[in-house]
Structure 1
Amino acid sequence: MSLYERLYDESEKAKVRFVGFISEHGRYDFGIVYTHMFFGKPLVVCMQTGRSSLLSMEDTENLEYLQKIFNLRSREEAEEIALFFRSNLPAITMEIEAEH
């Protein structure tokens, strides 16, 4: 008997973007993995802490969530990160999956 049941095992060539920027609250370095998996939500990795999350444009509205997942010190930091993500994440997620 198997110890696990495989849910998926997919390979794809994903687009990866590395972005670093500085604001008045600190320096930020992110890897953004654009994929057809996960309903088109990009995987965002904080290169400084290793924390990661699947993020959509809608997720950028929840400042408390951003603050928690990226261990940000203040709401102001979360607002800066949200502003960055709003201009760098795809606006529509479900259509990416439909194209695949």
Structure 2
Amino acid sequence: MELFEKLYDEHENVKVRFIGFTTEHTRYDFGIIYTNMFFGKPLVVCMQTGRSTLLDPKEIEDTEYLQTVFRIPNKQQAADLAEFFSGMLPSIPFITEYE
């Protein structure tokens, strides 16, 4: 008997975008991975901390979520990040994998 049951093992050529920018008080460096996996949500990785999350338009609007997941110290910085992501990430209809 095997110890692990494989759930998926996919290979995919994906588009990756690396972007660095500054606001008045902070520098950000992100990798954005556009994939067909994960309900079509882009995977966003903070290159400074290694923290990552899948983001859809509703999660971008939730500044408390952004503040928590990327450990941002204040609400204004989270609002700046939300504004950036709303212009960078596509607002495509997301796929439900389990229909």
Q: Could you say which TM-score interval applies, normalised by the shorter chain?
A: over 0.9
Question: Moved runs in structure 1, 4+ residues, more than 3 A?
Answer: none
Rounded Cα–Cα distance in structure 1 between residues aligned with 2:93 and 2:42:
9
Partner Cα distance (2:79, 2:93) in 1: 22
CA RMSD after TM alignment: 1.2
- Unpaired segments of 5 or more residues in structure 2? none
Q: Are the aligned partners of 1:41 and 1:56 in contact in 2 as well (CA < 8 Å)?
A: yes
Letter in 1 for 2:85: F
* TM-score (normalised: structure 2): 0.92
Task: Tell me the amino acid that sits aligned with residue 37 of structure 1.
Answer: M
Counterpart of 1:42 in structure 2 is 42
Question: For residues 32 and 47 of structure 1, do their structure 2 counterparts lie closer, same or farther at Cα, with a shift above 3 Å needed?
Answer: same
* Residue-pair matches, total: 96
Alignment of 1:54-65 (within 5 A): 54-65=54-65
Highest relative contact order (Cα 8 Å, sep 6+), 1 or 2?
1
Identity of aligned pairs, percent? 58
Q: Which residue of 2 aligns with 1:91?
A: 91
Determine the C-alpha separation between the residues in 2 that align with 1:83 and 1:94: 20
Contact conserved, 1:14 with 1:34, CA < 8 A, in 2?
Answer: yes
Task: Compute the TM-score of the two structures, normalised by the length of structure 1.
Answer: 0.91
The yes-or-no answer on 1:24 pairing with 2:28 is no
